[in-house]
Amino acid sequence: MTGPARPERRSVQLPPGGGLLLVDKPAGCTSHDVVGRVRRVLGLRRVGHAGTLDPMATGLLVIAVDRATKLLGHLALTDKTYLATIRLGISTDSDDADGDVVATADPARVAAVDDRQLEDGIAALTGELMQVPSAVSAIKVDGRRAYDRVRAGEQVALAARPVTVSRFARTGPARRGPAGIDVDVVVDASTGTYVRSLARDLGAALGVGGHLTALRRTRVGPFTVADAVDVYAGPPAERPAVTDALVAAVSGALLPAADAVRRAFPVHTVDDRQAVDLGHGRRIPAAGLPGTYAAFDRSGALIALACDDGAQARSVFGWHSPA
């Protein structure tokens, strides 16, 4: 049995320790596909991502390369923003347009949904919620992905989990047509929130069913899709060629790890002695900052992610150990 093909070697100049790549994911490919594409474009194997996007979805996918992959578990990427379109009147087995239609509401019942009902339904799905994820999801049930069990014909019932939807609002008037009501929305939500579950639950609350027809992620923590790069330069299904221009564009878009950390955490500057101690895992005087912060030395080099523990600070993730 052969393993995955090694990426073609390229002479790409990486920032020290690697960095983050903000990718504008196109529709029609998985997040894993994007990782594979970045490996091919940059000629690297050490590539990872944070925050999976469904194949139908587009928008911001945070990719890390080289040693920066170890930062992914520490970066503050817990709150996200989405633009989405919900179609009321039709339900699917996946709660999005990639699934099979399982129910269609009576047109008269759909037409009876007015703007006040719509606003009330959206308001009820804003705040601290217990949300049931879509059965067609990557959540594991007894060691197997839920979507694999569904595809095998099993009935999957996932437990509700706490999520935070801090904003769920319409971005324009509802569009009414023979296929149902299309509602464009913006959603700010915590990690683990399924926007397609919001579409399903809104439709259920209104008595007509609903599913997601479009989803675009525009923000992950401090990073936005406005700064993202296209790593395909063509339809993903056509496997576009990797040109020198594409390699230059993608490698030029790499955000050095230290710069990414500055955007994601409060910054604390330590003196030379403290830099040595912290870099070698020893405790230093507390910075007086809440939560995790980034410790830089006086030259601007990232030493570690740290947090206060009483009167002292300890390293959470060491990046550089000065001599």
Q: What is the pLDDT of residues 59-102, one digit of tens each?
A: 999 999 999 999 998 887 889 999 999 999 999 989 999 999 99
Residue 11 has a pLDDT of: 64
Distance separating alpha carbons of residues 143 and 162, to the nearest angstrom:
22
Cα end-to-end span (Å), the chain: 45
**Catalytic pick from 24, 33, 54, 201?**
54
Q: What residue ranges of the chain have pLDDT lower than 70?
A: 1-11, 150, 323
What is the architecture, at CATH level 2, of domain 19-75+222-256?
Answer: 2-Layer Sandwich (3.30)
Question: Is residue 54 flagged as an active site residue?
Answer: yes
* CATH fold of the domain at 79-220: Pseudouridine synthase (3.30.2350)
Residue 6 has a pLDDT of: 55
Residue 17 has a pLDDT of: 85
Q: What is the pLDDT of residues 202-253, one digit of tens each?
A: 999 999 999 999 999 999 999 999 999 999 988 898 889 999 999 999 999 9
Domains 19-75+222-256 and 265-318 share a fold: no
Coil, strand or helix: which one is 100?
Answer: coil
Residue 126 is inside which H or E element, if any? none
Whether the model clears a pTM of 0.85, i.e. scores above it, the answer is: yes
Distance separating alpha carbons of residues 77 and 65, to the nearest angstrom:
17
Question: 3-state SS string over 183-232?
Answer: EEEEEEEECCCCHHHHHHHHHHHCCCCEEEEEEEEEEECCEEHHHCECCC
pLDDT-above-70 percentage for the chain: 96
Residue 281 has a pLDDT of: 94
Listed by start position, the domains of the chain span 19-75+222-256, 79-220, 265-318
* CATH fold of the domain at 265-318: 2.30.130
Residue 140 has a pLDDT of: 76
Residue 323 has a pLDDT of: 63
DSSP 229-260: B-SSSS-GGG-----HHHHHHHHHT-EEHHHH
Cβ–Cβ under 8 Å, residues 93 and 136: yes
Residue with tokens 């049995």: 1
Distance separating alpha carbons of residues 236 and 244, to the nearest angstrom:
18
